[in-house]
Structure 1
Amino acid sequence: MPASAIQNPAGYVPEHAVAFSDVDGTAVTVSAAMPLPVSLSQAANAALSGTAATSGLVGPFQPVLGRPVVLALSGTWSGTVKVSRSTDGGATKLPLTVAGTVWGQYTGNCCEAVWDESEAAARLYLDIALSSGSVTYRLAQ
């Protein structure tokens, strides 16, 4: 069998393509019109944390969009801690609700996701009303 000569540059280029599955399972080649569906999350902002021995309002906490906000409360205390939300720089603070029912209001220690923000102007606050003791709080992502 005769040896074939290698010519550089070749008259062809081997093509490689990246594809992904669309909603109905069809392979879609990545292009400018159909970019690879990926996203990079923004780094989390500084946590709102501290200890309160008196009633008051703490905040604001600026959540990163599309990521859950976790509230941790600990200590020996009695009273209420309520998460409030503002979209006007803190002039108006509204309690979190789900279907018209109060959400994000606590009378004991907790560690759970309380909110997932989708509006860039939104800020979260903790409205702390203590009857006794002190509560350590942390609102973070």
Structure 2
Amino acid sequence: MKDLPIDLPIDLPGGFAPAFALGYADPAGRFALIDHDSPLPVLARAESPPQPLEGMAATVGEEGPFAPAPGTPVMLRLAGEWEGTVTVTRSTNNGATRNPLTLAGAPWASFTGNACEPVWVEYEDGATLYLEFDITGGTVDWRIAQ
């Protein structure tokens, strides 16, 4: 085998190495090559998810804050025999102002019965979620986690 101009850590018995291209679908759906100026889009995940919050509620009240890890769905579980409303709210100023979640301007993550579903995916650092209870009968067993 002839000497190559670079020192390769692999053996090339044929004197050549096959070429390939690595890419992904860009926002327009076209093939985009991965290179130094256009790296593979990735999202860094938190090393470990935040501790879940859980408890029971039988009156009017609130719980939180829950500080979600970015980019991971937040799961809410509501169980038990209860009447009333449980609403998830969001704050970006340590709870001083809380806004109900909406989707296309309509109320979102406001429950009047048992549920177990993803309610939010957060991407803003420092944002926190709260549960607001208006229980008029019975007791709701709740848990919010990732």
1:11 matched to 2:17: no
Give the deviation of 1:18 after TM superposition: 6.0
Report the identity percentage.
42
Q: Which has the larger radius of gyration?
A: 1
Give the deviation of 1:22 after TM superposition: 4.9
**What stretches of structure 2 of length at least 5 have no aligned partner?**
7-15
Could you tell me which of 54, 57, 65 is aligned with 1:52? Answer: 57
**What stretches of structure 1 of length at least 5 have no aligned partner?**
1-5
Count of aligned pairs between the two proteins = 132
CA RMSD, 1 decimal: 2.2
Which residue in 2 is equivalent to 1:108? 113
1:35 matched to 2:25: no
Deviating beyond 4 angstroms after TM superposition, the runs of 4 or more aligned structure 1 residues are: 13-18
In structure 2, relative to structure 1, the CA distance for the partners of 1:130 and 1:21 (3 Å cut) is closer
Instruction: Report Cα offsets for 1:72-98 as digits up to 9, x if no partner.
Output: 100111111011111111111111122
State the TM-score, normalized to the length of structure 1: 0.80
Instruction: Find the aligned partners of 1:94 and 1:22 in 2 and give their Cα distance.
Output: 35
State the TM-score, normalized to the length of structure 2: 0.77
1:133 matched to 2:138: yes
For 1:80, give the aligned amino acid.
T
1:69 matched to 2:74: yes
